[in-house]
A and B are shown apart, each in its own frame.
Chain A
């Protein structure tokens, strides 16, 4: 099975002075996996992708891409990867076909195949009706992104590394693109970074979340959501009891709920006049659906139930929870200004390292 591993990062580290853009990253991706690579800005996503495509060299550790070590055989590694950087690397003055021809030549595609392959990728990326345009610079952003993608697909690579491939696409194009990634992902390895969590849930059976240069989570979006710790219920009842018309206070409600099941957190939500609305957070490991019990409680106490729903924890929340320290550090850096950015980041990192001890523990649990 070892040969099935297409991308492997071993203790991958990239340091700029004392600041570590990525810090001992370990993961492996198999053939046929579509993996979403998530993290807030500055978490190290692009750096990792740039190392895997040999644009940057790691400071320590190594990566194996399609069986080629990025240190020992960078050309071999580059030849098996199709890469779309965050900013599509286009020569604006060239025509679409001319540009693809240039890439085909440097990828050493047999000349007899050039025409057919270029035609194919133009068809796949829906660029056919844009060929009349003189140069790539005349295309809209979305189409330019497609040209970038066409370039990455040209040599039919077994590994695709796409850095925010959908950032310049409109919603319809995005949806099409996700379908396409799902389809080609069956027999290829695709690693794509994005900010859009809905996209990841739709297209990636597995996600890697990086935060502050470290791997914060690795798993299926659903599993990660379930591991996040809490299930959320929203309950709304009428402010007056059904029979006696006596008022129900928030305290009574909270107390009754906590008595019903231990470990609950109850928070009051803003509600309409005459009703009480609360959010109930229950630890997920109990695995129990509390709706029946809550309904039973309302019946016992003669409360009029206006609304009761259980909310599935979204990947977005998991993401926020895992990367919250990172975002705070980012905000602090913005305040510190550009000149002091490096110093501030170091400070934030040092501070975060302390907090991280507990994070790391939970990471290890997750890996297990």
Chain B
């Protein structure tokens, strides 16, 4: 080692501070690959596709729908989405803290927001890939009759946005928890609370129910899945995602002050 050191003499600093975009891209790529470096990514994608398929054909059979519609597909996907997203987001910070790699990430010249957005996009990449795997269902169905493309595209956009919201929430939880399993449980619980919120409204007075309805993820999802993209829905998902990422970034920097 010593002889080699002489040749590296100089101590000239290389590199510096990267642009947010470059950092986000680097972190997102690593994050995406990390899911598939172990069994995690494969298990999650396979399980989700499998269960969605089972639920889809079960619903399709019981409802005896005589037309080509993808409504049962999106119903089953949105019902399983909180679990999928909890599995995708549980490792984001919990794992880094468990392994001590958070100390690398935070001491590199990278902004906290770069880390959070990069990790979010990495998880979104896996979600996107999972959804891509379910595309065989609409293709199969389109052979049975004319499929209206509006609700299909709307459905997928809705699932992506809803998934984004659950992942952002999961990242907040993960940033506070060192244990991945607890992070998974809490995130899926929260996800299902948001999912079922618009389904308990009959017991409540009108004033409360309209607020709860607006807070429910599934309410907005159903609206988008009809093929009509309303700004109200976009604002809802946009705020949950942005809010979640901001809190996660805040939690990351607050660790320094603890």
Q: Which residues of B contact A75 (CB under 8 A)?
A: 17, 109-111
Judge whether B50 is part of the interface by a CB distance below 8 angstroms: no
Residue contact A104 to B15, C-beta cutoff 8 Å: yes
How many Å lie between the Cα of A163 and that of B15 in the bound state? Answer: 23
Residue contact B11 to A183, C-beta cutoff 8 Å: no
- Minimum CB–CB distance from B11 to chain A (whole Å) comes to 5
Known: A55-B107, A108-B109. A93 touches B38 (CB 8 A): yes
Residue contact A106 to B109, C-beta cutoff 8 Å: yes
Residue contact A105 to B26, C-beta cutoff 8 Å: yes
Residue contact A105 to B18, C-beta cutoff 8 Å: yes
How many Å lie between the Cα of A76 and that of B15 in the bound state? Answer: 11
- Minimum CB–CB distance from A104 to chain B (whole Å) comes to 7
Q: Which of B1-9, B134-142, B225-233 contacts A (4 or more CB under 8 A)?
A: B1-9
Residue contact B101 to A89, C-beta cutoff 8 Å: yes
| Other contacts beyond A78-B108, A103-B108: 16, CB < 8 A | A54-B107, A55-B107, A79-B109, A89-B99, A93-B37, A105-B22, A108-B15, A117-B14, A124-B1, A124-B5, A156-B14, A176-B1, A182-B2, A184-B5, A187-B9, A187-B11
Q: Which residues of A contact B110 (CB under 8 A)?
A: 75, 106
How many Å lie between the Cα of A106 and that of B105 in the bound state? Answer: 9
The residue among A102, A106, A120 with the most chain B CB atoms within 10 A of its own CB is A106
Interface of chain A residues 75 through 117 with chain B (CB within 8 A): 75-76, 78-81, 83, 85, 87-94, 102-110, 113, 117
B107 and chain A: residue at smallest CB distance:
A53
Task: Please list the 7 inter-chain residue pairs (A to B) with the smallest Cβ-Cβ separation, ordered nearest first.
Answer: A183-B5, A89-B104, A180-B1, A108-B18, A179-B2, A93-B37, A79-B109
Residue contact B99 to A155, C-beta cutoff 8 Å: no
How many Å lie between the Cα of A16 and that of B17 in the bound state? Answer: 31
Judge whether A186 is part of the interface by a CB distance below 8 angstroms: yes
B34 and chain A: residue at smallest CB distance:
A93
Judge whether A151 is part of the interface by a CB distance below 8 angstroms: yes
Give the total of A residues in contact with B, Cβ under 8 Å: 55
Known: A55-B256, A57-B257, A106-B18. A180 touches B26 (CB 8 A): no
Known: A79-B15, A103-B108. A176 touches B34 (CB 8 A): no
Judge whether B12 is part of the interface by a CB distance below 8 angstroms: yes
Residue contact B103 to A108, C-beta cutoff 8 Å: no
Pick from A135, A151, A179: contact of B104, CB below 8 A. Answer: A151
Give per-residue flags for A302-326: 1 if the beta carbon is below 8 A from chain B beta carbons, else 0.
0000000000000000000000000
Judge whether A157 is part of the interface by a CB distance below 8 angstroms: yes
Judge whether A212 is part of the interface by a CB distance below 8 angstroms: no
Q: Which residues of A contact B54 (CB under 8 A)?
A: none
How many Å lie between the Cα of A156 and that of B14 in the bound state? Answer: 6
- Minimum CB–CB distance from B7 to chain A (whole Å) comes to 9
How many Å lie between the Cα of A183 and that of B108 in the bound state? Answer: 25
Q: Which residues of A contact B103 (CB under 8 A)?
A: 50, 55, 85, 87, 89
How many Å lie between the Cα of A180 and that of B5 in the bound state? Answer: 6
How many Å lie between the Cα of A35 and that of B23 in the bound state? Answer: 33
Judge whether A158 is part of the interface by a CB distance below 8 angstroms: yes
Pick from B8, B17, B102, B104: contact of A156, CB below 8 A. Answer: B8
Judge whether A343 is part of the interface by a CB distance below 8 angstroms: no
Judge whether A355 is part of the interface by a CB distance below 8 angstroms: no
Q: Which residues of B contact A360 (CB under 8 A)?
A: none
B257 and chain A: residue at smallest CB distance:
A57
B6 and chain A: residue at smallest CB distance:
A183
Q: Which residues of B contact A124 (CB under 8 A)?
A: 1, 4-5, 8
Judge whether A62 is part of the interface by a CB distance below 8 angstroms: no
Interface of chain A residues 115 through 152 with chain B (CB within 8 A): 117, 120, 123-126, 135, 151
How many Å lie between the Cα of A186 and that of B102 in the bound state? Answer: 31
The residue among B11, B15, B100 with the most chain A CB atoms within 10 A of its own CB is B15
Judge whether A45 is part of the interface by a CB distance below 8 angstroms: no
Interface of chain B residues 13 through 31 with chain A (CB within 8 A): 13-19, 22-23, 26-27, 30
B30 and chain A: residue at smallest CB distance:
A102
Judge whether A19 is part of the interface by a CB distance below 8 angstroms: no
The residue among A54, A107, A157, A179 with the most chain B CB atoms within 10 A of its own CB is A107
Residue contact B106 to A54, C-beta cutoff 8 Å: yes
Residue contact A57 to B256, C-beta cutoff 8 Å: yes
Judge whether B207 is part of the interface by a CB distance below 8 angstroms: no
How many Å lie between the Cα of A56 and that of B99 in the bound state? Answer: 18
Residue contact A109 to B14, C-beta cutoff 8 Å: yes
- Minimum CB–CB distance from A110 to chain B (whole Å) comes to 7
Q: Which residues of B contact A120 (CB under 8 A)?
A: 8
Known: A54-B106, A89-B103, A102-B30. A183 touches B2 (CB 8 A): yes
Residue contact B14 to A94, C-beta cutoff 8 Å: no
Q: Which residues of B contact A89 (CB under 8 A)?
A: 99-105
B2 and chain A: residue at smallest CB distance:
A179
Judge whether A188 is part of the interface by a CB distance below 8 angstroms: yes
How many Å lie between the Cα of A180 and that of B27 in the bound state? Answer: 32
Pick from B16, B19, B102: contact of A79, CB below 8 A. Answer: B16
7 residue pairs A–B, Cβ–Cβ below 8 Å: A16-B258, A78-B107, A80-B13, A89-B101, A94-B30, A106-B110, A187-B9
